[in-house]
Structure 1
């Protein structure tokens, strides 16, 4: 999968009107996700993403922050400030990006990723609206 394909999935799932907005939302969510992971898991996730997106996860401060859903969404909103993407819709964008991740990652890697996240974030990976076969 290429960067543009990933952004396209996020744009569709997040109901964003431009690819630039999808890119900003993706960057905010992946950077926040990277903060929640250990360095080793971030590298494993990054290995299955296009280079530009991989860098977002790998270059984050991997402190295993352990954000619950509220903290995660708040942090994504903070990352969106200064962009033309509404920070108030951070939860919608987090859901769209995790849907795209569910398509981009193998099932095993997705399970490894989820195992490092607070259980409160599991709903972000449920009800994926993107069909892996058509992505």
Structure 2
């Protein structure tokens, strides 16, 4: 998957009006996701993303924070502070960007990713709302 394809999927699923805003939201979600993972799993996920997106996950503090859904969304909102993307809609962006991540990853890597996450985050990676046929 190419970077622009990822952003288009994130834009569609997050109901954002521009690719630029989808990029900002994507980076906030990817950074937060990177924080929840150990370094090894973050590298595995990053290896299946376009390089520009991979670096966001790789550069995050990999402390395995184990965020539950509420903490994850709050953290995404914190990363959106000072941007032109509304932090109050962080849950919508988390849902949309994780749909794009789900499409980008192989089934095996997606299962490995979910195994490191709090069970409350699993629904973010299920019931994908974007058309996977466009990839």
**Fold in common (TM above 0.5):** yes
How many residue pairs align between the two structures? 135
Moved over 3 A (4+): none
Deviations 1:103-130 (A, max 9, x none): 0000000000000000011111121012
Verify: 1:58 aligned to 2:58, yes or no. Answer: yes
Shift of 1:77: 0.1
CA RMSD of aligned residues (A): 0.7
Confirm whether residue 37 of structure 1 aligns to residue 32 of structure 2: no
Instruction: State the Cα deviation string for residues 67-125 of structure 1 (Å, max 9, x = none).
Output: 00000000000000000000000000000011001100000000000000000111111
TM-score under structure 2 length normalisation: 0.98
Match of 2:70 in 1: 70
2:18 is matched with 18
Distance 2:7 2:132 in 1: 15
Structure 1 residue runs of 5 or longer lacking an equivalent are none
CA distance in 1: counterparts of 2:111 and 2:133, whole angstroms: 19
How big is each residue's C-alpha offset from its partner over 1:32-66, in whole Å with a ceiling of 9 and x where there is no partner?
A: 00000000000000000000000000110000000
Q: Which runs of 5+ in 2 are unaligned?
A: none
- Provide TM-score, normalisation by structure 1: 0.98
Q: What is the distance in 2 between the residues matched to 1:110 and 1:61? A: 20
